[in-house]
Structure 1
Amino acid sequence: MGIAEENVTDQSGDELLKEIAEGLTEIEGRRLDCDFNRLKDFFPDVIPKLAFIDCTFVSNVSFLHLNMLGINFISCVFEDFAAFENSSIESCFFHECQFKKHASFSESIFKVRATFSDVKFTTASFSLAVFKKKALFYNCDVSEYLQLANISCSNSELILNRMPVAFITFSPSQSEGFSVEDIDWPSLEQIKQAGVVTESMCRAWKVRLRNMGDEWTASEWHLFEKELALERLSTGSNKVSYFFLACYGWVSRYGESPERASKVLAALIIAPFVFALIHMRPEIKLNEEWASYALGFIPLLSKASVSLNLSVFEKCGQIVWQGFLAIQSSLLALAVRNKVRR
């Protein structure tokens, strides 16, 4: 993708507008500096379908408050800010284009079809845009973010195909309206590096993927949600919530790792025996009494230690440890269930 400078012709905005008014519909291989809002001076009702091929737009591009039958951009470069706002567009097609600065399609209405394929965005916003029938985002590259928040596509199809979802922002309630195809789902590191995905968006992706039957990827988004929550809590004042969430992650990877949960459970079971061996009182011998003392820390087996004369501190310790084991057993069961479901 790109345009060779020697094949591009400079043209003034006045010259171009005159040609379009005289019937030109395909503009190819030009460097343009034009106020396209003046098109409505020549076409007060509706602007005919236009195609720009291998063109470079050297200054701000504005298509504001226009009514267009259609507009295509193929292998074009937008050097500066590009605005296609508050316009009514029958159909549009952007292919192998590059937006070097912000592109805004806010509050525009796409009546039939909007296609963005192999486009390079730096930042782009479709806030409050309306897609009435079909919109396709295919294999686009996004450097910073692509904002699809507050769009309207309830009665249409919006397809994200081979898109970098780590850079896409959206309203969580809208995720059910997205069709996702051939997505290379991001890692936690990629999500954190992009810095645009929120906890609520992770939760929305999780629900959407479960509805699609993709439990494995939904599980990953559950982990992303919890990790982002942990990161948020680490800088806040609610250290209690941070502590419990961190523990939840450590002992079972947020209910998603039976391996982690089983290892922690095994350690919790072994620990009382080690403790009993190290801190054993003189009257407790290394035999049945030692085992009885250790079993007192384990639920359902604690009655084995009733014959021992335990201190209040030891009895309280056994009760607390039994609680830990009961909780960890529940987390193991949850993790196994989640893995089986995947």
Structure 2
Amino acid sequence: MPLDSETRADDRVMTDPDFAIEAKGLSKVYRSQGKTAEKRALENVDLQIPRGSLFGLLGPNGAGKSTFINILAGLVVKSAGSAKVWGYDVADNPRMAKSSIGVVPQELNIDPFFTPEEMLDVQAGLYGVPSSERRTEEILAMIGLTDKRDAYARTLSGGMRRRLLIGKAMVHDPPVLVLDEPTAGVDIELRQQLWENVVALNKRGTTVLLTTHYLEEAEELCDRIAIINHGKLVAHDDKRSLLGRLDAKTVRVTVKETLTDIPEPLRKLNPAIQQDGPAAGPTVMTIAYRPSAMTAGEIIAALNEARLTIHDLSTEETDLEDIFLQITRSSRD
């Protein structure tokens, strides 16, 4: 049902909430149907997403991410707990909760016989945005489709359709934007364009909730990250703290000497060695260590004690993929 302008104006929260999205004890159980067993999609999820953040929600397929998003969007009814969007409870005040969120789905659900301009106008009308307040021109420019405003949607490329979906989600100027796997199947160049649009929206003050299978995207873009697995929230922290959880680093050292055996001062480090080039050339050593128990300085001191000449040295930091795999594996055990 469309949201009339009077409801949109009168029911708005007067002050911006601290959290754009709040879930407390949120659970969802899909009851058994026929031969299909009961499925617990969400189990007692507590999550707070700060206003203005670019937040990543990660998890394997079937972890519960889409169920969480669909509850926020009013498409799925929760079984227990509570969920709020921009301070509005999705059960007690569904109209205002829906008016406060825009969702960009995975599927390209676009009417092929509408033009981008028509589609944005129709979507704005569904949200009760008066003609005088519609931002069609602004949104078309923002998503780079001004020159395609009169083209049928069926003629647009996949990347253009993705951008159009973002535009549809923004017609009612929601403070919260949810992107559910927005770059799935999009080539690298178009993916970069999409992220430029998203980052620009976030800088304007829009809170962005992102789900993605591309962990490098979440690591580069998001300031806070949560990981969900088997319906349970298994991690939630700012990105830097989350990356610091995995107590493991790797040092790769190239020394000018040709080694056939590990020198005594280095044996406690248990390095892996290999020749770099010809058999009589430099040696590459890979040393894995725990930062909580050892520093890189101690490794360099051991190399000096062994009287080796360092030609090159590099470290490999923990990345989000390492954290993701460690946490999801441990939560499965």
TM over 0.5: no
Larger Rg: 1
Q: Structure 1-normalised TM-score?
A: 0.28
Larger relative contact order (Cα-Cα within 8 Å, sequence gap ≥ 6):
2
TM-score by length of 2: 0.28
